[in-house]
Structure 1
Amino acid sequence: MAKRQVVSAGRQEMSGVERLGLRVSSMINHPIAQERRWATIHRLDNDGDREWEEVMGLLSETDGIDITFNDDETVTLRWEASADDERPIEMVELAEEEPAPF
């Protein structure tokens, strides 16, 4: 039997820059990276030279991000806490709920 390929009519494939940008964004937004305020980005075999240079250029131009190009060809991003991150967490006491009437 012949295999059928399912093709979505309106679906467009992501460009290399979009795919790399999404991966870097995911790494930056990871809870551990947010807590530590740094992330190390590894270049994958399928990251093209043009895409890598474009995304690294955008990151280096972004205010508040320090970028370090490491000897092992990884890139370490560091950032400072935003004003929202530095606010102390307030504890709220909940009022006792009234028992259900039934």
Structure 2
Amino acid sequence: MAKKQAVPAARQEMSGMARLGLRVSSMINHPIAQERREVTIHRLDTDGDREWEEVLSVIAETDELELTLNDDGSVTVRWEQQEVESAGKGEPELDLEEKVAPF
């Protein structure tokens, strides 16, 4: 009896938007960026115009994020440390957990 060989699953390509969103999200959620509460994002040659504008639009529309367009075409994203109420105490507690990017 012949053994059946496993057929590798077809490789799915990521869309340009998914790839850019993942890269920006990873940069924002990086521990150093979280510590500094800012990150500078550079547009790569592989980032399409539509995808770049859409990601910048999402960042700009997010109230907690401040967007600065730099002269070299990069974008600096800044945010303040957020306070959350601790359960049942009614006192603010600093939220030290990383925030997940909105895209």
Q: Sort the TM-score into its range (normalised by shorter chain).
A: 0.7 to 0.9
Structure 1: distance between partners of 2:61 and 2:95 = 27
- Taking the aligned partners of 1:12 and 1:69, their CA distance within structure 2 comes to 33
Q: Give the structure with the larger strand fraction.
A: 2
How far apart in 1 are the matches of 2:8 and 2:52? 29
- Scaled by the length of structure 2, the TM-score of the pair is 0.72
CA RMSD of aligned residues (A): 2.1
* Deviations 1:51-98, CA, capped at 9 Å, x for gaps: 10111111100110000000000000000101258369xxxxxxxxxx
Larger Rg: 1
- Structure 2 gap segments, 5+ residues each: 1-6, 85-92, 97-103
Larger relative CO (CA 8 A, sep 6+): 1 or 2?
2
Percent of residue pairs bearing the same amino acid type = 66
Q: Which has the higher helix share?
A: 1
Aligned equivalents of 2:95, 2:26: Cα separation in 1: 24
Gaps of at least 5 residues in structure 1 are 1-5, 89-102
TM-score (norm 1): 0.72
Aligned residues: 82
Give structure 1 regions of 4+ aligned residues with deviation exceeding 4 angstroms.
Answer: none
**Cα distance in 2 for residues equivalent to 1:87 and 1:69:** 28
Q: Give the equivalent residue in structure 1 for 2:65.
A: 65
